[in-house]
Chains A and B, each alone.
Chain A
Amino acid sequence: MNIIVIDDEVSSLSLFLNRIIDDSSINCQFFKDSVEAIIDFCRSHEVKGAFIDINMRSIRGDKLAMKLLDVLPSIRFVFVTGTNATMEDLPERVRANTLNILYKPIDDLALKSLLLQMDNRELKAEVKTFGDFECFLGKKPIRFSSNKSKELFALLVVERGKSLNMDRAISLLWPDKDITKAKILYRDAVWRLRKTLEDSSFPCVQFSRASLSIKPEMIRCDYYELLDGKDVYYPGEFLSSYDWSFPFESEIDYILSKRKK
């Protein structure tokens, strides 16, 4: 995939380069603010997307985007800015082709996700349920702000899209607490989980007033692979640190023993 990155600050360009250097599928061309060179490049290459700084000294990013649209009507933009600019500040024609705005300092995960979107691919979370429960997004661990919100996420993962209501979550995650306290802790875990996922721009859980459910299509998980019949090696115990994993564990044992036969 060809992309172009336009920023008049060299440090910003080099930072960008460091973030994507390990992705061999991306062919990236860097430009400062030389409009003619950019347009010439777009005429001679099939450029899928452009990362453009909004505030450059010689030209504004949104005006440059208008010129690029004349050459490549299907090009997609991501604007990079140190200001508080929003999508509403962009001209309508440009906005229609814009995926998002990245704010400096650039978040690695958001960048990775947008690069995949440009290539019509989707970012998936990697979830490891055997051994210690671990979740990765763009090869980086997801940082949950509390252990219980991480545990709630684990429960949602193993439910695989089934909706989870408050009563069931409480009975599994806070079985010993009195109901009033448990409800408070449940709401705290839900709020924290939502904040974590919003900060990562990764909306893989559907939050509604009555229940929660995960979007399994956004998750790549060893447990799902097992259920789908893939014959892979599963190291460690299933969700070893969570007490409520016992019934799921029995089911896994049953599946594995059936396979052996």
Chain B
Amino acid sequence: MAMKWDKGKTFYLVFAFVFLSTCVFPLFGIYSFGINGGVVDEVFHRIGRVLSLIDVSVFFLLTVVEIVSLFFDKGASIKTLFITIALFFYSLTTYDSLDFLMDIVPEMSQYPFTVRIFDIANFISFYFGAYFFFSYVFDLFVNPISKAEKWSSLFGFVLVCVLHFVFFYFNIRYAGPVILFIFYTWLCTRSIVFAIRTKKADFTFVCLMIIGICMLAIFLNETHDHYVGVYDGALYSSLLFFIIAVCYLTIYFRFVLIATLKSYREEAEAKKVRELQTNILKNQVSPHYLFNALNVIKTLYGESKDQGDIALDLLSRHLRAYTKAADTILVPLREELGVVSDFVELEGLKYAKEIEVIYDIESDDFPVPYFSLQPLVENALKYSKIMDKKDGCLTIRAYQDGDKNIIEVIDNGIGFEPTLRNKDSFGLKNVRERFEILLNANFEVMSKLGEGARIRIEYPIEKPNQMKGEDK
């Protein structure tokens, strides 16, 4: 599936960077170095306040932009507005922002309850923002997301929120490891869901689980040390925890997430192809088409039994191909040409005209999407007016050139001015998309007014992307 890059994505990547940088900073500054008080702490504290001010301003601006774009940009998503609002509140309620606020309004410090409310708002907005951000990016890159994935993500996030809140109040010094631990829990849930869904518990999965257990052990050890009063804010354990977390994330992103994204992309492509095929099939046997064909058959039976039999056989074959198409994605070109030829013959009987079609076929054993050439021929007959022209003719050419399969549909009809052509017709667009998704094809439409038109489809000889397994 081709991925389009737009300014929205750049915008959100910058936004993610700002957000993550402010999250990682205190982790290094306070927890990893294990230093409390003194000059270094003071420096970090000041930098933190400046960063929080930048955060608040950036998120406020983004929120305004989002609200404005919601009114003026049709493609704007409400989800992105939720992200900016959530993160604006998050940045507004951090301790740094709170310190800032208390400098301005010193009376606030007299009411601890206010601070508690700020804490809760901070947690809730952080996770709302993070969840909407995750969900938006996922929709953007791997649309559509499956139900199982949605529920497992939601479950992971709820778990993160609850655990983080509990642990945060247990001891503030643990916020860094707790965030990582909770993040791990969420990823771990997803890894397990992934393993169950793909029925694949391979070496990578085992590694993830082992590292996960290590992280859990370190976290519990630190918690225990602190609880019994022997915790010394040891540098090595926090660093170890951090390194293991990085290892975990590297493996996770390298193997699990990439595989998940790939499978979602394939699933999305398969769904798209089925949708396209259903749409094209809906047009094939419409009541209008069917009753017209039956009318022709009835007329021909009136003229001669043999002619009636021929027309009936053609319609039967067309209907059989149609019913088979429901569970067939790719067929050999030979089979598709059979569908085309039956269609052309039936059209000839319908209009009582001989339609001149030349089958210039050098090779016909390569795959094509089912019911893909027939709409092209139908289109050509409809728009090229070759049936009204004395030497009107349609040529279907198929051959292999080097490592390419090439199919051409050429007519010598009235043609069209390419610059005046706004977009593909429904049938052409549908066929183009199926060829592109299934066979990585290059699809070209060429025409000159008065000189006919040519459609050229070119794709690699090697095995198609997927879906062979779905063919029955």
Q: Are B345 and A145 neighbours in the complex by a CB distance under 8 Å?
A: yes
Interface string of B337-374 (1 = CB under 8 A from A): 11001000100000000000011111010000000000
B310 lies within 8 A of chain A by Cβ? yes
Interface string of A100-144 (1 = CB under 8 A from B): 000101010000000000000000000000000000000000010
Q: Are B324 and A105 neighbours in the complex by a CB distance under 8 Å?
A: no
Contact residues, B270-322 vs A (CB, 8 A):
310, 312-313, 316, 320
Q: Are A84 and B323 neighbours in the complex by a CB distance under 8 Å?
A: yes
Q: Are A107 and B337 neighbours in the complex by a CB distance under 8 Å?
A: no
A253 lies within 8 A of chain B by Cβ? no
Number of A-B residue pairs at CB separation under 8 A: 33
**Chain A: minimal CB distance from B33 (Å):** 68
Which residue from A84, A184, A195 sits with its C-beta under 8 Å from B338?
A195
**Within the assembled complex, what's the spacing in Å between the Cα atoms of A121 and B341?**
32
Q: Are B324 and A191 neighbours in the complex by a CB distance under 8 Å?
A: no
**Within the assembled complex, what's the spacing in Å between the Cα atoms of A187 and B399?**
11
Interface of A is mostly: helix
Q: Are B320 and A188 neighbours in the complex by a CB distance under 8 Å?
A: no
Q: Are A187 and B320 neighbours in the complex by a CB distance under 8 Å?
A: no
**Chain B: minimal CB distance from A80 (Å):** 14
Contacts of A192 in B (CB 8 A): 359
Q: Are B324 and A84 neighbours in the complex by a CB distance under 8 Å?
A: yes
Contacts of B312 in A (CB 8 A): 105
**Within the assembled complex, what's the spacing in Å between the Cα atoms of A48 and B43?**
99
A185 lies within 8 A of chain B by Cβ? yes
Contacts of B359 in A (CB 8 A): 187-188, 191-192
**Chain B: minimal CB distance from A1 (Å):** 26
Between-chain CB contacts (< 8 Å), 27 pairs: A84-B324, A103-B316, A103-B320, A105-B313, A107-B313, A143-B310, A145-B341, A145-B345, A184-B358, A184-B395, A185-B358, A187-B359, A187-B360, A187-B361, A188-B358, A188-B359, A188-B360, A188-B361, A191-B337, A191-B359, A191-B361, A191-B364, A192-B359, A195-B337, A195-B338, A195-B341, A198-B338
Seed contacts A184-B395, A187-B361, A188-B359; 15 additional CB < 8 Å A-B pairs: A84-B323, A103-B316, A103-B320, A105-B312, A105-B316, A143-B310, A145-B345, A184-B360, A187-B360, A187-B362, A191-B337, A191-B359, A191-B364, A195-B337, A198-B338
Binding site for B on A (CB under 8 A): 84, 103, 105, 107, 143, 145, 184-185, 187-188, 191-192, 195, 198
